[in-house]
Amino acid sequence: MTIDVARSVKKMFVDGKWTESESGQLFEATSPATGEVIGQVPKGTRADAGRAVEAAHKARSAMAGLKGFERSKRLHRIAEAIERRREELGHLLTLDQGKPLVAEALGEVDEAAEYFRIAAEDLKRLEGHVLPSASPTKLVLARHYPRGVYGVITPWNWPLTMAAELIAPALAAGNTVVWTPASSTSVISAAFMECLAEADWPPGAINLVTGPGAEVGDEVAGHPLVDGVGFVGSTETGASVARRAAGKHLMLELGGNGPMVVFADANIGHAVEGAIVGCYLCAGQSCTAGERILVEESIRDEFVARLADAARALRLGDPFAPETTLGPLNNEGVATKMDEHVADALARGAKLVLGGERAEGFPTRLYYHATILDGVEPSMRVSQEETFGPIAPIIKFRDEKQALALANDSPYGLLGAVYTKDLSRALRFADGLDTGWVNINESTNYWEAHLPFGGRAGKKSGIGRVGGRFALEQMTDLKTIVIEIESI
């Protein structure tokens, strides 16, 4: 694996300027693909985060003063900058995050640009309301206004997409933003920030603070001058963010271990294709991964055999090679969790069909074989927790009633999928699944950027919705205006 690594020192972006941390400290960014140091990034502090929040607070009036069509032009400029630097951003994304360049990274760059295009157009149609009044001489309007300062805290698995799905609608709504990305993908985040800065926003309108999430993210979430917080990440960290951000507007996209239910009447080949995408896209490091594959008993053997054949065709390897379809995991923490979940399942009676271990002969120990476990029981860790790795746990069921009970036997409720040719059954499952999104005869990892996405109430997968106008509307305040017409 030969890559020309340009080691560089990145900076934060605060109040319209590229800047160092007040501490002067840097941390090294290491590629999960190569093991090489690919850059040095400012180790931000609480003081840095506070300085960014204050800059964003001061910029509120200037940002709100930009009319919608002016903000739209700037959002299109961001999309253009992303598209112009597509190859560079894709390369850096692969280097920093680990996902295959051709199979995944370039597509994520394209999707990030699309989020800004969508926000640019949706804000032109952010309509208010004319409401009826009990008084015949009153005119009542309800109009959207910016909330103020938004803190945006994003993860490492989709460092461009997850940032864009929050930052684009926040800026479109006229808010100012303080963004704290995951430390392990700070290099690509800083490059992405360069595209955001090209749009010539008022100083302080968009800020980037890199550093430990427990410090900079925590400071942003709890800062009294922050008016809303958007977070994407684990359920545990999301609960901490919610506590710190008590009283602020919250949008939380948290964990999942989405059930994929396959009935005997399904097109098995199509279901296998969906499981491959659901379990192995981004090396399984997706909140919408199909982390529980529920298969009707009568077709389980055939499904498992065909899934194993399809998984063997995946190409684990150099993520810069065009033929690679499965790259390394991003960090040791998630690789260790894979080890633990596989070991727990095997110790409790599951059967290892494929994989189950780290691959040898690569530059880092983060390359993991595509894994299939059969005979998984609902009580096993791999079923109850979010594994976040390249794994397909197979759970059998007898009938529709048991399938629905098993599918809902989870603390998570983000996304589920059902494969069947019976439309009535499909619609019953769409109603009955305790998830915020249901795909029918489609992978758990299928979504579109303009559609409302988020967790089901009563589960631990978050609150609020990202996606298109749904995020934009939530990131505004609705102000009611009553006019006494006869006094005019």
Q: What whole-number distance in Å separates Cα of residue 204 and Cα of residue 57?
A: 8
Catalytic pick among 195, 279, 282, 287:
287
The reply to whether 291 belongs to the active site is no
Q: Could you tell me how many helices (H) and strands (E) the chain has, helices first? A: 16, 21
Q: How many CB atoms lie within 10 A of CB 305?
A: 12
- 271 close to 424: Cβ distance less than 8 angstroms: no
Residue tagged active-site, from 54, 219, 253, 385: 253
Task: Provide the CA 458 distance to its chain's centre, in angstroms.
Answer: 20
Number of residues that make up the chain? 488
Question: How many CA atoms lie within 13 Å of 283's alpha carbon, on the beta-carbon side?
Answer: 32
Which residues, 6+ apart, have CB-to-CB distance to 263 below 8 Å?
Answer: 296, 400, 403, 418, 419, 420, 422, 425
Q: How far is CA 267 from CA 174, 415, 441, 462, 480, in A?
A: 47, 21, 9, 32, 52
Residue for token digits 């979430």?
221
Q: Is 287 a catalytic residue?
A: yes
Whether the CB-CB separation of 466 and 474 falls below 8 Å is answered with no
409, 411, 410, 429: which is closest to 419 by C-alpha?
A: 429
Residue 466 CA from chain centroid, whole number:
10
Closest C-alpha among 325, 391, 336 to residue 94:
325
Residues with a catalytic annotation lie at: 253, 287
